[in-house]
Amino acid sequence: MKTRPSLVQSICLAVISRVLGRAEAGLLILRLPDGRERRYGAKDGAAAELIVSHWSFFPLLVARGALGLGEAYADGSMRSPNLPALIQWFILNKKQLSGAARRLSRLGAMFDDVYHRAHANTKAGARDNIHAHYDLSNAMFETFLDGSMTYSCAVWEEGDDLDSAQARKRAMIMEKLDLKPGMRMLEIGSGWGRLAIEAARDYGVEVVSITLSEEQLVVAQERAREAGVADKIRFELRDYRDVDGTFDRVVSVEMIEAVGYENLGVYFGAIDRALAHGGKAVIQAITFPNEGFEAYRSRTDFIQKHIFPGSLCPSVNAMKGAMRAGSRLAVTRMESIGINYAKTLGTWRQRFLGSKSELSGLGFDSRFIRLWDFYFSYCEAGFKTRTLDTVQMVLEREEASA
């Protein structure tokens, strides 16, 4: 291995070192390819470690910023014994580091923003974006999800395993929906069908559930047949913008992140049109803080580039503004459950990394596994630092809730 950096690599290391020297929260230990060690931030306490195996890491970090950190991890030029803790260190020092980091990575950000705009959520674009994430392989998702194949924030109590924590979350949604036998319910975003199946089986509800994922559609239909409720559920490959008919209830769990900022009003308008008089909707959404949202939505992050093209986590204010602009809906109840997501993501990550041989057998290489490891870690750190939240919201028409 080359133990001496090139001139460019040395300059980039010096620039990065100067930026990291501004950190105040927590200790970062940087281990260089030649075995030397540098320390930044607090002088003591629990340390985050960044182990660099190749000098090329530093030009990449200068050019790409936070995106470069994830790409370097995926390519193997850096590693960490506790990846979520490393990302958390950067988040906690965001205020001290972000200005310089943005200036350094401006050129790379321009190209990434062009990429993100190319994945806008038109009807055709939405199909492609969903396909790029959810149609990777049902078997791949089975390696880390629970038996119900629920791919959203669980709600934990002491002694829970993943299955029981996910069941608790679904029960919370059902309570908010206040389902009655004979009601018609629209689900926007089927997942693998568990919520729709429970609504039909346990509450006597007739369900129309829509998805853009062909892989999920096949599994959801099969599971409905196995549960004996295929006559009560109609799973359809359909865009939310093309829904017709009226429903007593609408539910949508962590699907709004795939809508895109420009379509938030369209999304809430579609829910409004679908609701019968006196109906209500329940959505679960991953949210970004109101403060800083404009900056977040104007740039491309790791998840948008490498995991879920076209995605965006809305702020609560952005959702409320879109409701006012595009619908007659108002929030009548809201509950934060984001404190549970770090554990959910940590559990998913542990199960995923424990399935490397199975993933390899499915055709996923080591770079893919590291990309998803960084994805889980990135999100876990976001929830641990309360940069991200998850809310369950009950929506009703303003005239119905007055």
- pLDDT tens track for 169-207: 999 999 999 999 999 999 999 999 999 999 999 999 999
Domain at 7-104, CATH class: alpha beta
Homologous superfamily (CATH) of 123-401 is: Vaccinia Virus protein VP39 (3.40.50.150)
Q: Cβ distance 264 to 240 under 8 Å? A: no
According to the model, what pLDDT value does residue 120 have?
53
- pLDDT tens track for 134-183: 557 899 999 999 999 999 999 999 999 999 999 999 999 999 999 999 99
Neighbouring C-beta atoms of residue 150, cutoff 10 Å: 23
Which residue shows structure tokens 């009703």? 396
According to the model, what pLDDT value does residue 102 have?
54
The DSSP bridge partners found for residue 206 are 184
| Mean pLDDT in residue range 117-133 | 54
Q: Name the band, by pLDDT with cuts 50, 70 and 90, for residue 401.
A: very low
Q: Name the band, by pLDDT with cuts 50, 70 and 90, for residue 122.
A: low
- pLDDT tens track for 227-261: 999 999 999 999 999 999 999 999 999 999 999 99
Q: Which helix (H) or strand (E) holds 48?
A: strand 47-52
- pLDDT tens track for 20-62: 999 989 999 999 999 999 999 987 767 899 999 999 999 999 8
Q: Cβ distance 193 to 223 under 8 Å? A: yes
Identify the burial level of 209 via C-beta atoms within 10 angstroms of its C-beta, where 0-12 means exposed, 13-18 middle and 19 or more buried.
Answer: buried
Residue by residue, DSSP assigns 166-228 as: HHHHHHHHHHHHT--TT-EEEEES-TTSHHHHHHHHHH--EEEEEES-HHHHHHHHHHHHHHT
Sign of torsion over alpha carbons 152, 157, 158, 161 = negative
Note the helical H segments in 105-190.
106-117, 123-134, 138-142, 162-177
Sign of torsion over alpha carbons 206, 210, 213, 214 = positive
Note the helical H segments in 55-161.
57-75, 83-92, 94-104, 106-117, 123-134, 138-142
Q: Cβ distance 225 to 238 under 8 Å? A: no
Range(s) of the chain covered by CATH 3.40.50.150: 123-401
CB neighbour list of residue 229: distance below 8 Å, 6 or more residues apart: 197, 200, 201
Distance CA 271, CA 266 (A): 9
Range(s) of the chain covered by CATH 3.30.1050: 7-104
Side-chain-side CA neighbours of residue 235 (13 Å): 27
φ, ψ at 275 (rounded to 5°): -80, 130
According to the model, what pLDDT value does residue 112 have?
45
According to the model, what pLDDT value does residue 162 have?
99
Q: State the DSSP code for 3.
A: -
Say what the pTM is: 0.90
The catalytic site residues sit at 379
- The size of the chain, in residues, is 402
Q: Cβ distance 205 to 178 under 8 Å? A: no
Tell me how far apart the terminal alpha carbons of the chain are, to the nearest angstrom.
70
Distance CA 17, CA 37 (A): 12
- Tell me the average pLDDT of the chain: 90
Q: Parallel, antiparallel, or unpaired: how do β-strands 233-237 and 247-253 relate?
A: unpaired
